[in-house]
A and B are shown apart, each in its own frame.
Chain A
Amino acid sequence: MPNKNIILKIEGISKEYPTVKANDYVSLDLEYGKIQALLGENGAGKSTLVKIVYGLVKPDHGKMYLNGVEYRPKGPQDARSKGVGMVFQHFSLFDALTVFENIALGLDKNLKKNELKKRILDVSKEYGLSISLDKIVGNLSAGERQRIEIIRCLLLNPKIMIMDEPTSVLTPGEVSDLFSVLKKLSNAGMSILYISHKLEEIRTLCTKATIMRRGQVVKKCDPQNISTSKIAEEMVGTSFSSPKKSKFKKGKECLKINNLSFKPLDPFGIPIRNLNLKIHHGEILGIGGVAGNGQEEFLSLLSGELKPTNGSLLFDGIDITKFNVVERRNKGLLTAPEERLGHAAVPVMTLTENCLITAEHRMNLSKKGFIDYESSKKLSDEIIKKLDVRTSGSDALARSLSGGNLQKFVIGRELIQNPKIFIVNQPTWGVDAAAASSIRQQILDLAKDGAAVIVISQDLDELLEISDVFCALVGGQLSSPENTSELNPSKLGMLISNSKE
């Protein structure tokens, strides 16, 4: 029996990959002019499902109906011509091309330049999405990039718009701008399939939600009438305890950063300008900010991978500015970068070998230039046990682990070396809620035992939860430190979107 209000009906979609069943008999209805949420942890199968709807992936079984007619897209172009548009999670933009060129690429028809320019400006005016056409995309902020994607999508007059994790890279101000655009669109009759794992935004935006776990739909509900913790439990599958913070005891000064500056060689790199910072033993310093504001550069300057153009670092009273990575590690300054595969761990090496990479000197895993595999293996087994890393063993290749498990291993590898100061970028990015909670607990325990910790993160809730002191990193500059207990979300939002001129 066809329902007139339903624009897209998904029935029993299944898709199996060699190692995992990404979608297992998934069904979902999308109504006209509604914003429907699709919730789930990373790896729950949300992205696979929308890729099927957008024609990028072919399902093994199941059917889809668009306006009551069977819908089987041959590819993205086919999907677009039938009125299905998509705004991607990792933006599908071309850094070296201009805004205009990027938009032109997303359209299938070959329009005249001036005509297209006019249409772009019309759409951007209508929905309040301001952009400038001649800028190179590589220099734009995440919010501006997303606007390009949305405009590109809207120019095709879609009936359905799919948004894959649209807020994961935006500042709070940009998020509220985005929401008002989405509400305008849905009032104008557009149906939106909104994918996210952030519960609060689903509650403010959507009236219907479908929750997925391990490829299956586990619950359909109205997010307005159900508690956030209940949704979280449905997403993870079990209940879990949130990390407990003990009382903060400030020790003596651990790391002092004086006028740290850095000029990048990479044209898209972010210069670091005159950073000054003090951090004490037992303190957790949270550094918030949107990606691409110098987080990676900051971490690399502290780890010793980059040499500052100016300034100095004092670590427990010793000037370590000229120390290289190994020397800093030996002194007890340990770091865990954001990119798990390729930076923190070598994908094609085993966990034991990856353990050796950072722990070799500090944990005496080699003797006279010869590797002591036995103790390395013992150490990596210990990490696996302590952090509850789900893997076939320490002989598994790093790339065979899921994101969350590898993250646990990478962080555990540093924690087991008893750092005096631990600097970590995005400790729980792409990690499921239960694992994130256990990683945060480990970080809290480390500080309790007297180490200093710098947590760089884009997840402001995480920083509010675990850090004692908060700074915002914006355009390579640090705001003055504030006690986290005196901050609220709106103040935070102001700090991290500040000084963007």
Chain B
Amino acid sequence: MDFSDINFSLLIASLIVAATPILLAALGELITEKSGVLNLGVEGMMIFGAISGFIVTIETKNPWLGFLCSCVGGMLLASIFAVVTQIFRANQVASGLALTLFGLGLSALLGQSYTGIKPVAFPDMHIPILADIPIIGIILFQHDFIVYFSIFAVIFVYFLFRNSHFGLIIKAIGENHDSAHALGYKVILIRFFTILIGGAFAGLGGGYLSLVRVPQWTEGMTAGAGWIALALVVFASWQPFRLLIGAYIFGGITLLQLNLQALGLEINVALLSMSPYLVTIGVLVFMSARRNKNSLEAPRSLGKTFFGL
């Protein structure tokens, strides 16, 4: 066995690509959950975003438009969830599960004539000067726009919840919707908004999967990525930077185990395939076990329906 076949800076660069869909979806779900809404439809929104973006890219030959439509597709599905849970006050868990099934089915139907086609390539953006730094340049500065966007989004969300008044209102609604209502905040309206944002992020993550990561359309191609994203949010204890670490660990181990499989390592393939899940959960549990007990709990109103006046 020869480890020198693995180029580590390339490996790290591609793990970032592998992690981006999950990171985006998880970040969207984090915003939604911060406002106290549990949307289990991430998988459905992701795959619907994947097919929406894919179809538009194929038809228009413009991947930028494709990514935009991924977002819109995710939001479209999220808006169904928002109407059902916020206006008709249906149970969030059941509605989210239904959304996933609906998204999987609908995308399979829409994508029937699009299997096996390759979309227009999405260009990488080499950052001048920085991209030429050895090793680090390859790892960090030779990616495409969406990867940079996802990292900036993490930073943005971090400051949103740490410093901004609007972030504080979202947090307050997620903590205690009755109190927030008593103070005069529009619980339903803001939840509607965060659900849509969550949908847009999940859709974008799905689009990245079908347009860059794979890039192709296959039925059910998200293969559980939405569920991983959901789990990441919990294990990262609703902290954007932990989410980033978690997503990259997951992406990294996924790639590493694929490489190891290719090298013909004598470990059962099934064991290798499950390793990303185990390691990610292990690391995040370890991190959250030592957390400051007060500040990092789940939003208290998470998953509860608001029946205010």
13 CB contacts below 8 A, A to B, read: A77-B184, A92-B176, A92-B179, A92-B182, A95-B176, A97-B171, A101-B168, A101-B171, A105-B180, A105-B185, A106-B183, A138-B294, A267-B294
B43 within 8 A of A: no
Contact with A along B166-195 (1 / 0, CB 8 A): 001101100110111011110000000000
- B184 cross-chain contacts in A, Cβ below 8 A: 55, 75-77, 80, 108
A97 CA / B297 CA spacing, docked (Å)? 11
B7 within 8 A of A: no
Contact with B along A52-89 (1 / 0, CB 8 A): 00011100000000000000000111001000000010
Point out residues on B near A: beta carbons under 8 Å. 165, 168-169, 171-172, 175-176, 178-180, 182-185, 293-295, 297, 299-300, 309
- B294 pairs with A110, CB closer than 8 A: no
A108 CA / B184 CA spacing, docked (Å)? 9
Point out residues on A near B: beta carbons under 8 Å. 55-57, 75-77, 80, 88, 91-97, 101, 104-106, 108, 110, 136, 138-139, 267
A139 CA / B178 CA spacing, docked (Å)? 20
- B183 cross-chain contacts in A, Cβ below 8 A: 76, 92, 105-106
- A110 cross-chain contacts in B, Cβ below 8 A: 165
- B309 cross-chain contacts in A, Cβ below 8 A: 56-57
Given A95-B176, A97-B171, A105-B168, also A88-B182 (CB < 8 A): yes
Main secondary structure of the interface of A (DSSP, over half): loop
CB distance from B296 to the nearest CB of A (A): 9
CB distance from B190 to the nearest CB of A (A): 13
CB distance from A194 to the nearest CB of B (A): 19
- B176 pairs with A56, CB closer than 8 A: no
Partner of A94, one of B165, B172, B293, B295: B172
- B293 cross-chain contacts in A, Cβ below 8 A: 267
CB distance from B57 to the nearest CB of A (A): 41
- B171 cross-chain contacts in A, Cβ below 8 A: 94, 97, 101
Given A105-B168, A110-B165, also A96-B182 (CB < 8 A): no
- B179 cross-chain contacts in A, Cβ below 8 A: 91-94
- B294 cross-chain contacts in A, Cβ below 8 A: 96, 136, 138-139, 267
Partner of A105, one of B169, B178, B299, B300: B169
A267 CA / B294 CA spacing, docked (Å)? 7
CB distance from A148 to the nearest CB of B (A): 12
Residue of A nearest to B185 (CB): A105
CB distance from A123 to the nearest CB of B (A): 18
Residue of B nearest to A152 (CB): B183
Residue of A nearest to B169 (CB): A105
Residue of B nearest to A77 (CB): B184
- B295 cross-chain contacts in A, Cβ below 8 A: 96, 136
- B165 pairs with A96, CB closer than 8 A: no
- B168 cross-chain contacts in A, Cβ below 8 A: 97, 101, 104-105
- A76 cross-chain contacts in B, Cβ below 8 A: 182-184
CB distance from A18 to the nearest CB of B (A): 14
- A94 pairs with B297, CB closer than 8 A: no
A450 CA / B3 CA spacing, docked (Å)? 81
A110 CA / B165 CA spacing, docked (Å)? 7
- A88 cross-chain contacts in B, Cβ below 8 A: 182
A88 CA / B180 CA spacing, docked (Å)? 12
- B172 pairs with A97, CB closer than 8 A: yes
A312 CA / B178 CA spacing, docked (Å)? 41
